Structures are given as structure tokens and as C-alpha cells.
Amino acid sequence: MTPTAADLDRLLQVVAGGDRGAFGAIYDAFAPTVFGLVRRVIRNDAIAEEVLQEVMLELWRTAPRYDRARGSARAWVHTIAHRRAVDRVRAEEAARRRDVAAERPERPYDSVVEHIERAEDRASVTLSLNSLTDLQRETIELSYYGGLTYDEISIRLAIPVNTVKTRMRDGLTRLRGTYEARR
Amino acid sequence: MSHEQELSMAAPYVLDALDDLDRARFERHLAQCEECVEEVAALRSGLDEIADATALAPPPHVRAQVLEQIETIEQEPRVEPVPIERPRTWSSVALAAIAALVIAIGAVLVTSTDPLDELLALPDTRVVAVGVTDAYAGSGSVDAVVSGDSETVYLRLENLEAPSDGTVYAAWLIGDNGADPAGLFVPDSDGAVTLVLDGSAGEGVAVGITLEPAGGSPLPTTDVLFLGVLG
């Protein structure tokens, strides 16, 4: 039986009370989406697995701070997961740049930014992002999956920062419309 | 930054497309702005759709590892939700157009953000939001960026009022021996300035900001306007 959003909110509140047993259910409910999101951003199995664990431990530690009034359990979990994934990919990139600058041999996991395009990965994400214009999709992919800041995207695409931010906003708004229309 | 500019940061914030400093600054704004909180929540709901589409079965051994690890990990204490403060309205302060940044004694004003960006990219760098004291009535904010070894401290200040004629802002590093001068500075016409402090942030060391006569003072002579522990 798939837990509803309300079930998950309640479950998280139980975990917030210190219930370690209930955390198993939280893990089962969220590990697939968390791992999928993290793996998409980090594109390296070993590091993605590390970050999955870190996210789960952070969910456990900070559950008491979850405030239902501020948003759903899903939103809270995915926010934490995505932030950790992006912070990690940026740290790995910075380390790789330092290695290159110091002319040290690059670490084996510099495949962090290699493009592992699996057919099913492309298809599933394309379906979700289908409703976006090409420009909106590009901006969201570069930021949400690529870990770039809006400044970096502006430089890479040679477009003004305000254009980047507008595409992000319009893209997110459109995604929300699609989501609500489907429910 | 105008409120329209702040609001435009909501979408990059939701996508985690902000660097640590911008993120810290925007989160501080969120603590005071209900409109932006709502904007963030609305934009974030668009991402729920994507999460399902990218779900992937994790390696099976991770579950047991995580459940074993939480046996010995304490949760953080529950925090009472803080009501969103109404935005404070400030009397308008005319910022004097300052043509040139003053290169000050003991501090180096940073005109390019590259060294700071490099520091921010390091994993053990910490960003500390420096608190406002009761003596300060303006709308300025201060963030400190401290290197992992605590040897390098940048301050980034925004929305700072121009000091009146004959005065200058002074940064202090405050430790067991009292306050050591760490640099003098003047904001640009937007009220912003970034500088690297002359000194380091050891354990328990705090940074303080005061207004001093031009040329600085060996010790603070006026009330501390911003104060925060760096170590």
C-alpha cells in the first residue's frame, strides 16, 4: 500500500518524536526518490551511495525541525537531498580543479561530471520536462541536475542573469501546472 | 537589493542554483518576508513531479547500514517555529555617491570576487551570519567567510549606510586579549563592500564592527554595530 502524502507527513512527525522504528518506513518511502535525485546530480555510483546515507542520517537528525505548516514531508526530504547532492558535486568539481591546477593525477572519481546517458534516464526525465520550452528545460537541467549557479549558467550560455532567473521561474511554474493538472 | 530583485532569487534558490553566500543571504531574507516564503513554496511544488520520474532503487545494503547508524545518533532539539517578522521600515538614508573605494590600513578591499569564490568552493569553509546589535539601526548585513584552518576571514557587507564625514568603519577581531584592529573600510555607492581581514579567526574569536574617526583607532571608541563569533 503506497503511503499518501498525509501518511508521510504524519510518519515524519512520529520520527521527529524519536521513534527509530518508524524511521525504517521513512527510509523505504523516500530512499528511491532520494537516491535517484542524488544519482542524477552526482553521476557516480559510489559517491551517490555515500550521499544517500548522509541524506538519510540528516533526515533522522533534523526530523524534529520538520514543520508541517511550512510544507510537505516530500518537499522537505527532497530539498535536503538535492542540496546535499549539489554541495557534494561542487566540492568534487573544486577538488578536481585544484588537482588540475597543481598538476596532480586526477582522482578516479572525476567521472563525477561525465555524461552517463542511460536510455531510461533520458526518457523518464524528458517526460517530466516535456511541458517546458527548450530554453526553460536547458536552464533547469543545468542548475537542478548540473549543479551550476545562475551566475555560472549566465556565463556559460552568454545570456543576462535576469534571463536565466526568468526562465527558471517560468519553467518551475509550468512544471507545477503540469503536476497539478495530472492529479 | 530591491524587493523585486530579492523575489527573483526565489527560483534559483529552489533549484539550489545559488552559491553559499547568496543562499545565506536569501535565507536571512526569507526569515523576514512572507511573500518570498510563499513564492518559494509555490515554485518548489513544481519539483515534486521530477522526483518521482527519477526514482531509482538504492543498493540493498544501505538500508541496514543507515538503520544501524541511527541507533547511536541523537536528533537535534525541536525548535519552536519563529513567526515571520514584519519587514522593518527604515528611514531613507541617502547614500553618498562614493567615487573610489578607500584602500585602508590593515585590510585589503577585494575588488574581484574570484579569491572569495575559490574559498567558498572549499568544503571546509564556513559562512557565518554576523549579528546586528541594538546599537545599529540601519538595514545592513554582514556575512563572514572563514577558511577551514581559520586563517583567512572575508567579510561581505551589504546595505551599509555611508559613514558620515570624518568617520570610517572599522573591523575588529576580538579574542582573549581584547579587540585587535582588523581593517578599515567604506562601502561603495550600493552600500556594499568585501574585504579580507588582517588577522585570523581562532577558537572563540569574534568579529566586531564600529565607526571610528578617519584613520582608525587602536581600540574601539564607539558602540559595536555588528558582532559575531567566528570560531
Whether B126 has its CB under 8 Å from any CB of chain A: the answer is no
Q: How far apart are alpha carbons B38 and B44 in whole angstroms?
A: 10
Residues of A in contact with B56 (CB under 8 A): 32, 35-36, 39
Which of A36, A124, A172 faces B11 most closely, judged by CB atoms?
A: A172
Judged by phi (left if over 0) then psi (alpha if -120 to 50, else beta), residue A37 lies in alpha
pLDDT score for B148:
87
**Bridge partners of B179?**
B174
Chain A, residues 1-20, CB within 8 A of chain B, namely 16, 18, 20
pLDDT of residue B129: 82
Position B90 confidence tier, pLDDT thresholds 50, 70, 90: very low
pLDDT: is B202 or A114 the higher one? B202
Radius of gyration of chain B (CA): 21
Q: Which of residues 59-118 of A touch B (CB under 8 A)?
A: 60-65, 67, 69-71, 74-75, 78-79, 82-83, 86, 90-91, 93-94, 97
Q: What is the DSSP letter of A144?
A: I
Is 0.80 topped by the overall pTM?
A: no
The per-residue pLDDT for range B34-88, each reduced to its tens digit, is 999 999 999 998 887 788 888 999 999 999 999 999 999 999 887 655 544 444 3
CB contact under 8 A, A144 and B16: yes
B208-222 confidence digits (pLDDT tens): 999 998 888 888 888
The whole-number pLDDT of residue B100 equals 30
d(CA B44, CA A175): 10
- B168 alpha carbon, distance to own chain's centre: 21
Task: With H, G, I as helix, E, B as strand and everything else as coil, classify residue A45.
Answer: helix
Integer Cα distance of B98 and B108 in angstroms: 18
Task: Give the whole-angstrom CA distance, residue B70 versus residue A56.
Answer: 9
User: How many helices, marked H, and strands, marked E, lie in chain A?
Assistant: 8, 0
Instruction: Tell whether A37 is within 8 A of chain B (Cβ).
Output: yes
Q: pLDDT per residue over B119-176, tens digit each?
A: 887 878 888 888 888 888 888 889 899 988 888 899 989 888 888 888 889 999 988 8
**A155 Cβ under 8 Å from any chain B Cβ:** no
C-alpha R_g of chain A: 18
Average pLDDT for A36-65? 95
Strand intervals (E) in B3-161? 108-109, 126-132, 141-146, 153-158
Banded pLDDT at A119 (limits 50, 70, 90): very low
Query: Between residues 12 and 51 of chain B, which touch chain A (CB distance below 8 Å)?
Result: 12, 14-19, 22, 37, 41-51
CB atoms under 10 Å from CB of B16, counted, come to 21
H or E segment at A6? helix A5-16
B47 with A63: Cβ contact below 8 A: no
Phi-psi group of B178: left, alpha or beta (phi > 0 → left; psi -120 to 50 → alpha; rest → beta)? left
